[in-house]
Amino acid sequence: MTNELRDRTVLVTGASAGIGRATATALARMGANVLMASRSRERGEAAVRAIADEVSGARLHLLLADLSTIEGVRSLADQTLAASDRLDVLVNNAGLYTRQRESSSDGFEMQFAVNHLAPFLLTALLSERLEASAPARIVMVSSEAHRRGRIDFDDIHGERRYSGLGAYTQSKLANLLFTRERARRLSGTGVTANAAHPGVVATRLLFEGFGPLRLLGPFLKTPEQGARTIVHVASAPALERLTGLYFIDGESARPSARARDDDTARRLWDLSARLTGIETTENRTT
């Protein structure tokens, strides 16, 4: 175990499997105090045991929360604040794909709820702690799928027409727009916000959503390979002052024109603030 992140606290959502678990493992190996958020206690505890067996001296703490609900996101924020008096890195990794339209208990389309609204709200609730811990970093795990996305403000929850892939690409575009606007709002605080594309990784989420890709399994990235760019954005000293960027294979990349639309980013921010009920506190840094 190295000491590159010694005395640093990191929160990784969706940390019980796949890219999230690989990210948590790598950060634990770098000496970080890793808060691992999981919806399932069973899978979360199994992941903690596996990482502890792999990384000698790993500092791991399991936090349980259902990020499909506003209540669950608020619970995770509360657990995080109670678990550590600092937060140096927030890795918003948790995500899902659904072929058929599903609604969250709050009435939101499920992919929009988990992939976008959850990290939007969680980051808002933890921003004060991140600022107090500055220099600190927010890492948003997005995807090249964002290039096919568009934000349908007239049917944001897919109530009139629904496509699983369309909802997914919309949420991944939302991730980049959120990162861009969050970086703008955090200017001067010492907290950076960047997005990362892990690549096409052989995970349960990918295979459950896009079954035919199983045939390409040998050619896809492993979760450990997919985590490399995320870990790089979370820890590389050279990136300490860089913000509002999108990374692929460890290098800054140019996202789609839609992902660089500041008017859409602000409009999405305002909508997300209303839906999650944080408009009063989060619009103070416009």
pLDDT digits (tens, 9 = 90+) for 18-73: 999 999 999 999 999 999 999 999 999 999 999 999 999 999 999 999 999 999 99
Structural domains of the chain sorted by starting position, each given as residue range(s) with its CATH number in brackets: 9-285 (3.40.50.720)
Catalytic residues: 168
- Alpha carbon distance 132, 153 (integer Å): 34
Which residues are paired to 138 by β-bridges? 90, 193
The predicted structure's pLDDT at residue 220: 63
Distance CA 273, CA 120 (A): 8
Cα–Cα dist 249/251, whole Å: 6
Instruction: Provide the whole-model pTM.
Output: 0.92
Please tell me the predicted confidence (pLDDT) of residue 252: 97
Angle between helix axes 262-276 and 118-132 (nearest 10 degrees) is 90
Q: Which amino acid is at 16?
A: S
With a cut of 80, say whether residue 282 has pLDDT above it: no
Q: Which residue spans within the chain are E strands per DSSP?
A: 9-12, 33-38, 59-64, 89-92, 136-141, 191-197, 246-248, 251-253
Is a pLDDT exceeding 70 seen at residue 280?
A: no
